[in-house]
Amino acid sequence: MNKKQKIIDYIIVFIMSLLTVAFLAPIFIILLNSFKGKFFIAEAPFKLPGNDTFVGLQNYIDGIAKTGIIQSFGWSLFITVFSVLVIIVATSMTAWYTSRQNNNFNKGLYYLFTFSMIVPFQMVMFTMSKMANVLHLDNPLGIIVIYLGFGAGLSVFTFTGFVKTIPIEIEESAMMDGCKPLQTYFKVVFPILRPTAISVAILNAMWIWNDYLLPYLVIGTKYKTIPIAIQYLKGGYGSIDMGAMMAMLILAIVPIIIFYLICQKYIIKGVVEGAVKF
């Protein structure tokens, strides 16, 4: 490696380090402020907790008591887990079918899925919330169907690219051995799709877990997810218990960060392998 290449590598490392600090700084600041008294957060948000500002776990205790975040955690977990499972199974089967049945109808269907990715949620949210009410989808089970609709575009696009790389001879061999289409899919195709399925699961789980607007419009406050519960720390006349809010934000992001760290090595692999032209 020559000197010029070493300098370029050092510059890249330096830039990446700066970006890492920039992305992690907000989380670090929230963590620091979650241990401060609420009256000191606005005055000195960047200072470490001191003898006069440190309140230990009191913000966490107050936040849990005010928000009922344990129940909200259960609703968020239920909606996220089952929405992701439905999205993975339904969209992977759709991608497999449209790839193997290569006709004009399936090509049009594929392009409709990809087109749905560019439609802003704000364009359809009022109509969607009304239809959800009419069809009785305004509950934790119904919102799973809605998440399937909004998550199908990117998921089908990703799965389709990967399915195109699977040799069709593998499936033909399975069918010659007596496998029916569903058996071929679950015993042969889906295991091969595992890296892409994990990538799709991570991307959708992060989106659904952190989503505020869709649950608020569809299921409201009856089944409060974590983002909705945290929002209710904001009182009348703009008053906010900043200490409790910081603590609840930390509790909200910890599960999804752990999930991401466990599975993140599959993201790039799955997306790259799935990014094949239809």
CATH number at residue 100: 1.10.3720.10
For residue 277, pLDDT over 50 is answered with: no
State yes or no: pLDDT of 84 exceeds 80. yes
| pTM listed for this prediction | 0.83
Q: Are residues 63 and 50 in the same domain?
A: no
Domain count, the chain: 2
Q: Which two tokens stand for residue 246?
A: 């910081």
Quickly count: other Cβ atoms within 10 Å of residue 157's Cβ: 20
Residues 212 and 107 reside in one and the same domain: yes
Q: How far apart are CA 164 and CA 175, in angstroms?
A: 18
Q: Where are the beta strands (DSSP E) in 28-145?
A: none
Indicate whether 49 and 66 sit together in one domain: no
Mean pLDDT of the chain: 84
Mean pLDDT, to the nearest integer, of 148-163? 89
The confidence score (pLDDT) of residue 58 equals: 85
Nearest C-alpha neighbor of 232 from the set 217, 212, 218: 212
Amino acid type, 228:
I
Do 45 and 69 belong together in one domain? no
Residues 65 and 85 in one domain: yes
pLDDT classification of 276: cutoffs 50, 70, 90: very low
Sequence-distant contacts of 251-259: CB under 8 A, at least 24 apart? 251/60, 251/63, 251/69, 252/69, 252/210, 252/226, 252/227, 253/27, 255/73, 255/77, 255/209, 256/205, 256/206, 256/209, 256/210, 259/202, 259/205
Specify whether 24 is located in the same domain as 144.
no
Closest CA to 152 of 110, 180, 196, 211: 110
Same domain, 37 and 129: no
Amino acid occupying residue 227: P
Q: CA-to-CA distance for 157 and 165, rounded, in angstroms? A: 13
Residues 33 and 156 in one domain: no
Same domain, 149 and 226: yes
Range of the domain at 251: 59-274
- Weakest mean pLDDT among 128-137, 140-149, 268-277: 268-277
- Whether residues 85 and 174 fall in one domain: yes
Choose among 102, 50, 31, 16: nearest CA to 246.
31
Q: Are residues 26 and 115 in the same domain?
A: no
pLDDT digits (tens, 9 = 90+) for 95-133: 988 888 878 888 888 888 888 888 888 888 888 888 888
Q: Are residues 173 and 198 in the same domain?
A: yes
213 pLDDT higher than 70: yes
